[in-house]
Chains A and B, each alone.
Chain A
Amino acid sequence: MAMFGTALLTLLHPQYLIPMFICVVIGIVLGAIPGLTGSLGMTIILPLTFGVSTNMSFAMLIGMWIGGTSGGFISATLLGIPGAPSSVATCFDAYPMTKKGEAYRALLIGIVASFIGTAASVLIAALVTPFIAKWALSLGPWEYFSLCFCAVTVVCSLVKQNIFKGFLGAAVGLLLSTCGMSPLDGAYRFTFGVPDLTGGIDMLALMLGLYAIKQIIEDYAKGQQSLSKVDKLETGGMSIVIKDLINNIGTVIRSFLIGFWIGFLPGMGSGLSNLVAYAQAKSAAKDGNKWGTGCPGGIWASETSNNASIGGAIIPMIALGIPGDTVTALLLSGLTIHGLQAGPLFMQNNADLAYLIFVCVLFAAILTLLVQLFGVRLFPKILSLPANYLYAVIIVMCFIGAFISTNTTFNMLMMLGLVLLGVVLDYCDIPVSPLLLAYILGPQLESYFRKGISYTSDGIIPFITRPVSALFLIIAVLSVIVPIIRGHRKAAAKAE
């Protein structure tokens, strides 16, 4: 609790509050514009964190994240186009409400639901994480290997159409992670005599290439950049939203729990939680048949759940060092830039920073709430920003980021190579999430596996005989087998 208080006092300083406020505003703007997301904003500002303190870098990154996640509902409400994958289900009822002339009410529900989801989930995360980290301290390299392996496998198995493509994505990530010097013995691999490759594939170049530039260029190629105009908002008060909240309290609690749990699981972030929570809330609602025509319950369900995923995703990131999704992977990169490594020891050795992260999320949620409540009438203006200039500047910033990361122009070339790789992967329908997770966890997987083998004379046996390790391996195997069996059953039922 004392740590929490210290972090709270640290962040109250304008030195941190002002950059966080700026990042929250930019995050909301990026989240609101379809095609741009808060995680893209985080990728762009990652290079800036080289030049600032660890505390400041997290204030900025988290501000961008929370603002971006929350801002996604703006275009979902006003245009019927989700600003981010986390707001897909918000469109179902928010946009019909806009068409009925209730855009202001729909936006207010989105604002309040986002705040409830984020604030409550991070408070629970702050309470739970130390216990999980303490438990994780008793684990050895065998358990860590199995845990990382399980995380990668679960993400691969989530690929809906072809599970082999999910694993192929992971193989690409694993291959990229083996480039450069190997862990433990420093042998050169896949460097082809190029000195710039001895350090491996730079994480920032990978993030900027595979996410930021590729996304912008592909959206341009697909012609998904022009937006329709939005009318001015009608007026109204907060009282109606409070009444709405009381009427939908069951939906809010259920959606919160769903979002929190889905956020905790690797690979399943806010992009999935909003859809699951919406479906659950709809089936439980008395007026479920009316959902999709402009019912406030749909917005409560979607926006509470996608923001509740934030707290859920922080727990494995801090306690185990495992990123649940792209955003937490970016936060892990932020830690790496400052020479820190998340995991059980992080909570022990850097408890002040761990609590600072929780408090940052809480502060960012409060700032997002205030910015959105006072700026709600400006939302239509965000959607009329000249996107072509924004995209051009973002691409320039990506080049700067890649250069700053290693101080070489080669890294910018590598980033462009990774853009090409991203386009090829999209063409082949190979998902990027398993690639990213395998790339980040690859060195850990390798080093834990090799340590596990060398610590005993039993070879790979301890990986199977140690109970926790065995449990993770069983989950990993089941995560592959169960979807295959289900798929076969469905195909057989269709054939009949």
Chain B
Amino acid sequence: MNKKDFTIGIGSCLIGAAVLIYSFFIRISVELSEPGPRLFPRIAGIIFIICGIGIIVTALNEPAKSGEFLGKEGSKKLGIALLVCFIYWAALKILGFIIATPFAVIALSRIFSSRKYNYVLGIVVGIIATALLYSVFSIAFHLPLPAGML
């Protein structure tokens, strides 16, 4: 049995059931001459359940598959990159674009670097990239950038 797909199938069925239950709480107008706003969420929920059952049945007839998605090291790298992104989001919200971005560029280019990291170059790139992006978006195109709370 393919345990991974079996679990995915179960998860899909559970999501489908939750969507179906939720659809009953969508408010509708009393007099409708057509299916109304509940129909498509219900269709999505039913597809989730049908696909879930299909995946479970296929998984039961399949041998277990070997090979990891990212491996231990890869998952750790993924986690770090995501963490930096979430910190950058929080920094944008609090500190704003101009303060947060140079640090984000340095941090991200540091973790993406496969060779010995040149911090001086990283700082230069961080500052120049921030200045360039600010000039293009905010000054040239008059588009808003996160100002922060400070």
Name B57's closest neighbour in chain A (CB-CB): A164
Given A171-B51, A174-B40, A221-B70: A409 in contact with B146 (beta carbons within 8 A): yes
- A184 and B48 alpha carbons, distance in the complex (Å): 25
The answer to whether A391 and B48 touch across the interface, beta carbons within 8 angstroms, is no
Contact residues, B8-33 vs A (CB, 8 A): 8, 12, 16, 19, 22, 26-29, 32-33
B129 to chain A minimum Cβ distance, whole angstroms, is 5
**Residue B3, interface by CB 8 Å:** no
Q: Mark A178-190, 1 if CB is under 8 A from B, else 0.
A: 1000101101111
Q: Which residues of B contact A226 (CB under 8 A)?
A: 114
Known contacts A388-B109, A409-B92; is A178 also within 8 Å of B35 by CB?
no
Q: Shortest distance in angstroms between A291's beta carbon and chain B's nearest beta carbon?
A: 31
Q: Residue-by-residue, is B82-113 near A (CB-CB < 8 Å gives 1, otherwise 0)?
A: 10011011001100010001001111111111
Known: A164-B58, A174-B44, A221-B81. A388 touches B113 (CB 8 A): yes
Which 3 residue pairs are nearest across A and B when measured between Cβ atoms?
Answer: A51-B141, A164-B54, A392-B108
The digit string for B107-144, where 1 denotes a CB below 8 A from any CB of A, is: 11111111000000010010001000100110011111
A249 to chain B, nearest CB (A): 44
Binds B, one of A269-277, A331-339, A447-455: A447-455
Residues of B within 8 A of A188 (CB): 26-27
A426 and B78 CA atoms in complex are apart in Å by 13
Interface residues of A in 466-496 (CB under 8 A from B): none
Smallest CB separation, A443 vs chain B (Å): 9
Q: Does the CB pair B125–A419 fall under 8 Å?
A: no
Cβ-based interface call for A162 (8 A): yes
Contact of A465 with B by CB under 8 A:
no
B145 pairs with A403, CB closer than 8 A: yes
Q: Does B143 lie within 8 Å of A395, measured CB to CB? A: no
B28: chain A residues at CB < 8 Å are 185, 187
CA distance A50 to B8 in the complex (A): 39
A178–B35 Cα distance when bound, in Å, is 14
In the assembled complex, 23 residue pairs joining A and B whose CB atoms fall closer than 8 Å, in A order, are: A47-B137, A48-B136, A162-B54, A167-B47, A168-B47, A168-B52, A170-B47, A171-B16, A178-B41, A184-B34, A187-B26, A217-B78, A218-B78, A391-B112, A392-B109, A392-B129, A393-B125, A393-B129, A395-B108, A404-B144, A412-B89, A430-B8, A450-B39
Bound complex: CA of A430 vs CA of B32, how far in Å?
Answer: 36
- Whether A165 pairs with B27 at a CB distance below 8 angstroms is no
Please determine whether A217 and B143 come into contact, CB atoms closer than 8 angstroms. no
Q: Are A51 and B41 in contact (CB under 8 A)?
A: no
Which listed residue, A218, A388, A392, touches B104 by the CB 8 Å rule? Answer: A392
User: In the complex, what residue of chain A is closest to B34 when comparing beta carbons?
Assistant: A454
How many Å lie between the Cα of A164 and that of B77 in the bound state?
31
A162-B58, A221-B78 as given contacts; A416 in contact with B89, CB under 8 Å: yes
User: Measured between alpha carbons, how far is A187 from B26 in the docked complex, in Å?
Assistant: 7
With beta carbons under 8 angstroms apart, the residue of A51, A391, A445, A451 that contacts B142 is A51
Q: Which residues of B contact A216 (CB under 8 A)?
A: 112
Number of B residues contacting the other chain (C-beta, 8 Å)? 71
Q: B40 near A446 (CB under 8 angstroms)? A: yes
Is residue A374 contacting chain B, with contact meaning CB distance below 8 A? no
| A395 proximity list for chain B (CB < 8 A) | 85, 104, 108
- Minimum CB–CB distance from A369 to chain B (whole Å) comes to 27
Inter-chain contacts of B81 with A (CB < 8 A): 217, 220-221
CA distance A142 to B110 in the complex (A): 54
* Given A393-B133, A409-B146, A446-B39, 12 further pairs, Cβ under 8 A: A164-B51, A167-B47, A168-B47, A178-B40, A187-B29, A190-B22, A393-B129, A395-B104, A404-B143, A409-B93, A416-B86, A419-B85
Q: How far is the CA of A389 from the CA of B122 in the complex (A)?
A: 8
Judge whether A52 and B141 touch: CB under 8 Å: yes
Complexed CA–CA distance, A217 and B82 (Å)? 8
CA distance A335 to B36 in the complex (A): 28
Known A-B contacts A51-B143, A178-B44, A217-B81; A185 and B37 likewise in contact (beta carbons under 8 Å): yes
**Contact across chains for A171 and B137 when beta carbons are under 8 A apart:** no
A223 proximal to B (CB < 8 A): yes
The answer to whether A388 and B69 touch across the interface, beta carbons within 8 angstroms, is no
Bound CA span A99–B63, Å = 41
CB distance from B65 to the nearest CB of A (A): 10
Contacts of B82 in A (CB 8 A): 217, 416, 419-420
Chain A residues closer than 8 Å to B19, beta-carbon distance: 175
The complex places the Cα of A52 from the Cα of B141 at a distance, in Å, of 7
A158 to chain B minimum Cβ distance, whole angstroms, is 16
Query: How far does the Cβ of B52 sit from chain A's closest Cβ, in whole Å?
Result: 8
Instruction: Give every chain B residue within 8 A of A190 (Cβ-Cβ).
Output: 22, 41
Q: How far is the CA of A42 from the CA of B16 in the complex (A)?
A: 34
Chain B residue at minimal CB-CB distance from A165: B55
Q: What residues of A have a CB within 8 angstroms of the CB of B5 in the complex?
A: 162
User: Are B141 and A48 closer than 8 Å at their CB atoms?
Assistant: yes
Residues of A within 8 A of B105 (CB): 389, 392-393, 396
Q: Is the CB of B78 within 8 A of A47?
A: no
Tell whether, in the assembled complex, residue B108 and residue A175 are in contact, meaning their CB atoms are under 8 Å apart: no
- A399 close to B (CB within 8 Å): yes
Instruction: Flag if A403 contacts B146 (CB, 8 Å).
Output: yes
Interface residues of A in 372-406 (CB under 8 A from B): 387-389, 391-393, 395-397, 399-400, 403-404
Contacts A175-B44, A391-B108, A427-B69 given: A399-B92 contact, CB under 8 Å? yes
